Structure 1
Amino acid sequence: MSTFRVQQIAVFSVLLGFFTPHVGAADIEAGKNKASMCAGCHGLDGASNNPMFPRLAGQSAMYLENQLKAFKSGARTSPMMQGMAAGLSDEDMKNLAAYFASLPAKSAGGDADLAKQGKEKVAMCLGCHGNDAQGRGQFPRLAGQHPQYLAKQLNAFKQGERTGGPMGAMSKNLSAQDIKEISAYLGSL
């Protein structure tokens, strides 16, 4: 390649940098400061002790940011979360997501007997949610989540109260016992 061609590419690259909007990285510290509003339900460390509320610690930033945007737009309904997300800017959502994603996930536990049965049935979840249900990109971390919360969400997908991706179809054939067992296993991870 000629020296002139290399110079052209270099100049083009520099100019492209000047005219491309800067996409800032998330500010974990700003997310931590903003997260105090989340602590009442999701815990100070993102590992809620209340099974009504999901654990946010260790979720992927992409998933968390997408969920906050869905609550803000009304695409995902929860009066409480819609109210909380309404005042968040895109930057706030990005920072909160990065903060919670940076925290270590913790296991919520689960009934050992139910978990044994659930382990045999969880394979269908792992294709999207990762080999250890640790989450993957837009797919949430299921490992360590409260079994009661997981069961509530699976039932909401099954009944069409919650929509998204293949979850409606995946949950349609699950019995109430399947849901208990799968939720217990995932919570135990």
Structure 2
Amino acid sequence: MPEVVAHGQRPDVLACGFCHLPNGLGRPENADIAGLPAEYIEHQLAAFRTDARHSALRRLPLALMVQTAKAADKPEVERAAAYFAALKPRSWIKVVETETVPKTRVLGWMLVPDGSGVSEPIGSRIIEIPENVARTELRDSRSGFIAYVPPGSVAKGEALATTGGGKTTACEICHGRDLRGIGPVPPIAGRSPSYLFRQLYDFQHGFRAGSWAALMQPVVARLSEDDLVALAAYAASRDP
């Protein structure tokens, strides 16, 4: 494991493995980067570094990513990208369609059950929680997540991803029939639906810019937030 992944470089380059985990599978507040093309990882770090990539949610995880991208040198970026690109993606998130979900609270930038045992309607949300909160807080690389999504989301998302649904371009054209990516185009199968929704929303509202982002902006332009939820749910449900 490269030093930059394990320990970072003081004072401003944080250890990649702390947030994204040594297995690259990450958590809902950041990204699953295991198995992404090295070229794509390097491109995204450059976008953070040049302020081309932002998010509607300007919170600490994003600020730390921008800080690290701006402070890391080219060899560190290349070593980290090669490391994560070589990792094999695996199923980390179980997608469950449901009308009700546990009532949650925020802990460490992610949602966790609030302990009351009370359920509430899911509405049009994605509620992604750890399988085991204690193990997740210990950065246990064997303890994944459950993503609750509204009933019918996966089927609706499949229709949009495979045909465009009369609203957009089919995701399969660029991301591949199995959504496992083509060349430098990133795989999105089995990735966090919370993360995927954020990225679709950010493309739609201009928070992600740059040459590759320009390809996504017209794709999401006519989609509703319910469509974005459905697409994220479908992609997350696929085998990576």
One of 107, 111, 116 as aligned partner of 2:96: 111
Deviation at 1:98, TM superposition (A): 0.8
1:4-60 CA-partner distances (Å, limit 9, x unpaired): xxxxxxxxxxxxxxxxxxxxxxxxx53xx3212012221121001x21211010111
CA distance in 1, matches of 2:208, 2:45: 15
In 2 relative to 1, CA 53–61 (structure 1 residues): closer, same or farther, beyond 3 Å? same
Q: Does 1:92 align with 2:76?
A: yes
Give yes or no for contact 1:51–1:148 (8 Å, CA) kept in 2: yes
The correspondence of residues 1-189 of structure 1 with structure 2, limited to 5 A, is 29-30=1-2, 33-36=3-6, 37-48=15-26, 50-77=27-54, 78-107=62-91, 108-112=93-97, 113-123=152-162, 124-163=170-209, 164-189=213-238
Normalised TM-score (structure 2) = 0.61
CA RMSD of aligned residues (A): 1.6
Structure having the larger proportion of residues in strand:
2
The 2-side partners of 1:134 and 1:141 are apart by 4
Contact 1:62/1:137 (<8 A) preserved = no
- Rounded to whole Å, the distance in 1 between the matches of 2:50 and 2:158 is 36
Long gaps (5+) in structure 2: 7-14, 55-61, 98-151, 163-169
Deviations 1:75-120 (A, max 9, x none): 2234221211122121211111110011011233323542222111
Which blocks of at least 5 consecutive residues in structure 1 are unaligned? 1-28
In 2: Cα distance, 1:166 partner to 1:110 partner = 28
8 Å CA contact retained: 1:111, 1:184: no
Give the structure 1 partner of residue 117 of structure 2. none
Superposition TM-score, scaled by structure 1 size = 0.77
- Measure the CA separation in 2 of the matches of 1:86 and 1:38: 14
Cα distance 1:57–1:151, how it changes in 2: closer, same or farther (>3 A)?
Answer: same
Q: Which amino acid aligns with 2:201?
A: N
Distance 1:109 1:126 in 2: 22
Which SS does the other structure have where 2:228 is aligned?
helix
